[in-house]
Amino acid sequence: MRVLLFGREGKVGAVLMTALGEAGHEVVGVEVGEPIEAAGFDAAVDFTAPAAVFGNATTALSAGVPCVIGTTGLDEASLAELDRLGRESQVACFVAPNFALGAILMMRFAAEAARSFPDAEIIELHASTKIDAPSGTAKATAERMGGDVPIHSVRLPGLVAHQEVILGGPGETLTIRHDTSSREAFAPGVLLALDRVRGLPPGLTVGLEALL
Ligand code: NAP
């Protein structure tokens, strides 16, 4: 596939430039301020920043190019607008708050555990360069656990992406933890999304679990 990658020089983008190329895709990377000609690409991938992702996705979708979005921090109104634009252009827009397989399982196990343990809290820990808080993964986890779950955000150098879900009952606690130790963890999920995005219905699809 010919893939347009927004955020070529970012921490995730740099890993994806290599991983997508090694998987046989022809990747053209774009950085801030560079001119974008989206027409002719088979798909666009965005790992940039909350302030940039909506504009990038709008450019791609308007040109009829399906999108795979990993950038977090998109608000509900922006997601609704991307859904509308995708339907209008008859292309899919896939958004996942987390592309790591272990994180998807963590969310599934947390939802299951919440049925037996109504008292729970989430601690999400990320690199100090992550702008948005709480993380998209923490919000998605809380939603799947029934909504009213307090989230604590930690931002420190040295961290990549980590989350702990702690559930408490009389005399016991259950901790479910996922650690991303390298950004290579996100590449298989992005490759899967690229493989599937053109088969998705026009408009918005959210979450890697929709593809598994
Ligand atoms: P990062 O290192 O700050 O990289 C972002 C890159 O995007 C930077 O090189 C930045 O350039 C560039 N950029 C900013 N605006 C752009 C634009 N308009 N067009 C093209 N490039 C642009 O951040 P990161 O750690 O790679 O993370 C990127 C995003 O992905 C964040 O929102 C993060 O939360 C999210 N993320 C999601 C997942 C997931 O699984 N869904 C996993 C990890 C990270 P400058 O440095 O010049 O501004």
Q: What is the pLDDT of residues 170-179, one digit of tens each?
A: 999 999 999 9
Q: Report which DSSP code applies to 57.
A: H
| pLDDT, greater one: 212 or 196 | 196
* Other residues' Cβ atoms within 10 Å of the Cβ of residue 158: 7
Rg (CA), the chain: 17
Region 124-136 average pLDDT: 94
The torsion angles phi and psi of 96, rounded to 5 degrees, stand at -130, 125
Determine how many CB atoms are found less than 10 A away from the CB of residue 195: 13
Residue in 74, 79, 99, 96 with CA at minimum distance from that of residue 161: 99
Q: Give the whole-number percent of the chain exceeding pLDDT 90.
A: 94
pLDDT of residue 23: 98
- Rounded CA gap, 200 and 190, in Å? 15
pLDDT above 70 covers a percentage of the chain that reads 100
Which ligand 1 atom sits nearest the alpha carbon of residue 51?
Answer: 15
Give 48-87 pLDDT, tens digit per residue: 998 999 999 999 999 999 999 999 989 999 999 999 999 9
CA distance 193 to 92: 11
pLDDT of residue 89 exceeding 90: yes
- Which residue shows structure tokens 């922006």? 78
pLDDT confidence of residue 205 = 98
pLDDT for 185: 97
Confidence of residue 147 (pLDDT cuts 50, 70, 90): confident
Q: Which residue has the higher pLDDT, 50 or 14?
A: 14
Give the integer Cα–Cα distance in Å for 51 and 67: 17
Q: Whose CA is nearest to atom 42 of ligand 1?
A: 98
**pTM of this prediction?**
0.92
Q: Is the CB of 96 under 6 A from ligand 1?
A: yes
Task: Ligand 1, residue 10: give the atom nearest the CA.
Answer: 4
In the prediction, which pLDDT does 196 show?
A: 97
Task: Return the pLDDT at 101.
Answer: 93
Give the distance (Å) from ligand 1 centre to CA of residue 161: 14
Tokens coding 25: 């895709």
89 CB near ligand 1 (under 6 Å): no
Half-sphere exposure of 207 (CA within 13 A, CB side): 15
Q: What is the pLDDT of residues 18-42, one digit of tens each?
A: 999 999 999 999 998 888 899 999 9
Strand locations in 103-185, DSSP E? 119-126, 151-155, 161-169, 172-180
